[in-house]
Structure 1
Amino acid sequence: MYMAEFKLRFGDMKWYVRRIIEASSLGEAEKIAERYAEAMNKGEVRWELSYVIEAERPLLVGKEELEKLEA
């Protein structure tokens, strides 16, 4: 499982969105994420791929994640 972070731009505003990517390799996940960003660029909001990482527990904040941050 992989997680992609996208930078969204609308005028002077920008924010970040993360999506789970189903793929068998990092390279495949990056290609899927790039295609996704291109497909989402049909409106006024501009999507840019920031990065893709392998993620075991994406978007979860639990005891394990807090312990890693506090170490």
Structure 2
Amino acid sequence: MYMAEFKLRFGDMKWYVRRIVEAPSLEEAEKMAKRYAELMSRGEVKWELSYVIESARPLLIGKEELEKLGA
């Protein structure tokens, strides 16, 4: 499983979103994420791919993550 982060732009505003990418490899996940950004950028909001990482537990905050942070 992979996680992709995208930078969205609308005029002077900018924000970030993340999406889960189901792919067999990092290379395939990057291709899929780039294609997703292209398809999503058809309106006024422009999508740019920031990065793709492999992640076993993307976007999850649990006991394990808090322990890693020393909480």
TM category (shorter chain) comes to over 0.9
What corresponds to 1:45 in structure 2? 45
Q: What residue number does 1:67 align with?
A: 67
Q: What's the Cα RMSD here?
A: 1.0
Please state whether the residue corresponding to 1:9 is helix, strand or coil.
Answer: strand
List gaps (5 residues or longer) in structure 1: none
Using the size of structure 2 for normalisation, the TM-score is 0.96
Aligned-partner Cα distance in 2 for 1:60–1:69: 14
Alignment gaps of 5+ in structure 2: none
Moved segments of 4+, more than 2 Å: none
Output the TM-score relative to the length of structure 1. 0.96
Structure 2 Cα separation of the partners of residues 33 and 69 of structure 1? 29
